[in-house]
Amino acid sequence: EVQLLESGGGLVQPGGSLRLSCAASGFTFSSYAMSWVRQVPGKGLEWVSGISGSGGNTYYADSVKGRFTISRDSSNNTLYLQMNSLRAEDTAVYYCAKDLRSGSLQGAFDYWGQGTLVTVSS
Amino acid sequence: AIRMTQSPSSFSASTGDRVIITCRASQGISSYLAWYQQKPGKAPKLLIYAASTLQSGVPSRFSGSGSGTDFTLSISCLQSEDFATYYCQQYYSYPWTFGQGTKVEIK
Q: Is the pLDDT of residue A103 over 90?
A: no
> How far is the CA of B88 from the CAs of A63, B3, B98, in angstroms?
20, 11, 6
Distance from the A114 Cα atom to the nearest Cα atom in chain B, whole angstroms: 6
Distance from the Cα of A2 to chain B's closest Cα (Å) equals 14
Q: How far is CA A59 from CA A34, A49, A62, B94, in A?
A: 11, 5, 10, 8
pLDDT tens, position by position, for chain B (107 residues)?
999 999 999 999 999 999 999 999 999 999 999 999 999 999 999 999 999 999 999 999 999 999 999 999 999 999 999 999 999 999 999 999 999 999 999 88
pLDDT at position B90, please?
98
Spatial distance between the Cα atoms of A101 and A104, rounded to a whole number of angstroms? 8
Q: Is residue A53 exposed (0-12), middle (13-18) or buried (19+ Cβ within 10 Å)?
A: buried
A113 by DSSP, 3-state: which?
coil
| Chain A contact for B94 (CB, 8 A cutoff) | yes
pLDDT at A74 exceeding the cut of 90? yes
Which parts of A52-120 are beta strand (E)? 58-60, 68-73, 78-83, 92-99, 109-112, 116-120
How far, in Å, CA of A91 to CA of B86, rounded?
Answer: 22
Check CB contact under 8 Å for B43 and A106.
Answer: no
User: How many Å is the maximal CA-CA distance in chain A?
Assistant: 41
Strand pairing category for A116-120 and A109-112: unpaired
C-beta atoms of A110 and B55 within 8 A = yes
What does the pLDDT look like over A31-51, one tens digit per residue?
A: 999 999 999 999 999 999 999
- Looking at residue A106, its pLDDT comes to 87
Task: Give the C-alpha separation, A33 to A99, whole Å.
Answer: 5
SS3 letters for B14-59? CCCCCEEEEEEECCCCCCCEEEEEECCCCCCEEEEECCCEECCCCC
Contact B94 A100 (CB under 8 A): no
- DSSP 3-state of A90: helix
Residues of B in contact with A94 (CB under 8 A): none
Residue A89 has what DSSP assignment? Answer: G
Judged by CB atoms closer than 8 Å, whether chains meet at A108 and B99 is answered as no
Q: Give the pairing type, strands B10-13 and B102-106.
A: parallel
Q: A51-64: per-residue pLDDT in tens? A: 999 999 999 999 99
Confidence at residue B107, expressed as pLDDT on a 0 to 100 scale = 87
